[in-house]
């Protein structure tokens, strides 16, 4: 792919103007690509993803994502699950909180937006034992979704949808 200098994206001082409405990368005069996502976030399809580097509980992770203008990961498609699976598989010692919780023990698993998880997409594997059955949050480890105690410290994945 050939890149060309595009003066229409430069302001009067020669700095690149970012176009957040466009999903194609903007190339500055110096040939530097700028992403529609913030620094350290990964772009895939119509979302930006941030894989945290600090350990937190599910609730603290949810709060931190919210402070960044995002939510804990919601897996909408098998394509997205494959992408996330590839990312987390490169860190086999780590698990990552996702935006799935089980607010009522007898109720369904819900995403942060209140929608019910699709059983066609993945199954949630149980790690609960008889004496401790309150595993009401979910994390992904090596492409597999597990239930877990919400106060366990783990990494997390924030997701920010790109505006279309």
Per residue in 32-90, pLDDT tens?
556 788 899 999 999 999 999 999 999 999 999 999 999 999 999 999 999 999 999 99
Count of beta carbons in the 10 Å neighbourhood of residue 138: 26
Q: What pTM, to 2 d.p., does this model score?
A: 0.75
Q: Which of 159, 157, 162 is nearest to 88 (CA)?
A: 157
Contact 111, 137 (CB under 8 A): no
Per residue in 144-155, pLDDT tens?
999 999 999 999
Q: Which of 145, 95, 137 is nearest to 119 (CA)?
A: 145
Per residue in 95-153, pLDDT tens?
999 999 987 767 789 999 999 988 888 998 987 665 556 789 999 998 899 999 999 99
The CA-atom distances, in angstroms, between 164 and each of 41, 43, 125 are: 18, 14, 34
Per residue in 25-46, pLDDT tens?
444 444 555 678 889 999 999 9
């Amino acid at each position: 792919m050939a890149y060309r200098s595009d003066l229409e994206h430069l302001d009067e001082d020669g700095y690149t103007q970012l176009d957040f409405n466009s999903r194609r990368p903007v190339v500055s005069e110096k040939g530097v690509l700028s992403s529609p996502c913030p620094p350290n976030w990964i772009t895939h399809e119509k979302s930006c993803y941030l894989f945290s580097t600090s350990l937190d509980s599910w609730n603290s992770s949810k709060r931190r994502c919210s402070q960044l203008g995002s939510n804990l990961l919601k897996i909408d498609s098998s394509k997205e699950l494959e992408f996330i699976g590839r990312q987390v598989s490169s860190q086999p010692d780590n698990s990552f909180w996702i935006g799935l919780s089980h607010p009522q023990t007898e109720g369904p698993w819900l995403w942060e937006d209140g929608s019910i998880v699709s059983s066609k997409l993945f199954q949630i594997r149980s790690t609960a034992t008889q004496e401790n059955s309150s595993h009401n949050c979910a994390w992904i480890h090596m492409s597999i979704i597990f239930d877990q105690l919400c106060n366990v410290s783990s990494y997390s994945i924030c997701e920010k949808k790109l505006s279309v």
